Amino acid sequence: MTEHISAPGDLGRRIMYHRKSLGMTREQLAERARIDPGYLGYLEESAASPGASTVNQLAAALGTSSEELLGGTVDMPQERGPAGAQPWLEKLDADECMRLISPGGVGRVGFTDPAGPVVLPVNYVIHHGAVLLRTAFGGPLDENLRTGVRGVEFKIAFEVDHTDDPNRQGWSVLVRGAAHHLSEEERAVAASADVEPWAGGERELSIRIAPAEITGRRIHHSPE
């Protein structure tokens, strides 16, 4: 009898997220995972409970684990373990950095408030070559990132990374630039960017970070 798995999270969203992160179409993933494209569409768009073998095939095709697809790692920090065989570090140019972060998603903003250094997770999109965030008026990014001087803006850091835990590989991108609070007119223009904060609530303050400096690194390792 086929073993079926009830996912503790949204399996379809996780499949779609990993697929799009890899730049794959449904047809490409279906071929790689050896499943029907129509069934893959069903998995991505509904609350399905596929067999364990199907989840394993999808995980292998996406370069992740079945536990990750099923949401079993949600409350766990990223994996600890030894480095891969003969690891080496590649410095990324600005174009490659922008390519990696262009899908948008979750990044981290770093700045200094009156109490000291702060790092906060934020949802973001790339809009016209700049990082665009949306947050709440009166929140930390509003209260602590205004200089009070017209035309003078705080320079902050923004970081995005991705790790492939099983293969001990990954990349990180660091953007430095001024935190510009968008005016009402600018917010209207940027409305099409569609930043959707996971935290919900009233989050009508938009902040743009135009990269003054962008650097990145990727960890590789040689096959054993």
Q: Answer yes or no: do 91 and 59 share one domain.
A: no
81 found inside a domain = no
The 10s digit of each residue's pLDDT in 28-53 is 999 999 999 899 988 888 877 788 88
For residue 2, is it within any domain? Answer: no
6 within a domain of the structure (yes/no)? no
The larger pLDDT score, comparing residue 15 to residue 3, is at 15
Do 92 and 64 share a structural domain?
no
In a domain, 27, yes or no: yes
Q: What digits encode the pLDDT tens for the residues 153-167? A: 889 999 999 877 666
Q: State whether 35 and 111 are in the same domain.
A: no
Tell me, what's the pLDDT at 118? 92
CATH number at residue 53: 1.10.260.40
Reported as a pLDDT band with limits 50, 70 and 90, residue 9 is very low
CA distance 197 to 208: 15
127 with 207, same domain: the answer is yes
- Which pLDDT score is estimated for 222? 62
Token output for 215: 């650097």
Cβ neighbours for 224, distance < 8 A, ≥ 6 positions apart: 85
pLDDT digits (tens, 9 = 90+) for 73-83: 544 445 555 55
Confidence of residue 125 (pLDDT cuts 50, 70, 90): confident
**CB distance 108 to 158 below 8 Å:** yes
CATH for 189: 2.30.110.10
| DSSP state for residue 162 in the 8-state scheme | E
**Residues spanned by the domain of 144:** 87-221
Is residue 64 pLDDT above 50, yes or no?
A: yes
State the average pLDDT for the chain: 80
Handedness of CA 32, 33, 34, 35 (dihedral sign): negative
Integer Cα distance of 127 and 103 in angstroms: 10
Does 42 lie in the same domain as 119?
A: no
Residues 91 and 189 both lie in one domain: yes
Give 4's pLDDT tier (boundaries 50, 70, 90): very low
Sign of the dihedral through C-alpha 191, 194, 195, 199: positive
- Average pLDDT rounded to a whole number, residues 212-218: 95
Check whether residue 60 and residue 147 sit in a common domain. Answer: no
Structural domain contains residue 82: no
Check pLDDT > 90 for residue 108. yes
For residue 169, which amino acid is it?
Q
DSSP 135: E
CA 11 to CA 50: how far, in whole Å? 10
Q: What is the pLDDT at residue 65?
A: 81
pLDDT at 67: 78
Residues 94, 195: one domain? yes
Do 121 and 201 lie in one domain? The reply is yes
Question: Residue 215: is its pLDDT beyond 90?
Answer: yes
- The pLDDT value recorded for residue 96 is 94
pTM of the model: 0.62
Q: Is residue 97 part of a domain?
A: yes
State the Cα–Cα distance between residues 39 and 76, nearest whole angstrom: 30
User: Contact, 164 vs 203, CB < 8 A?
Assistant: no
Cβ neighbour number for residue 98 with a 10 Å cutoff: 17
**Residue 88: burial class (beta carbons within 10 Å; 0-12, 13-18, 19+):** exposed
> In total, how many domains does the chain have?
2
121 lies in some domain? yes
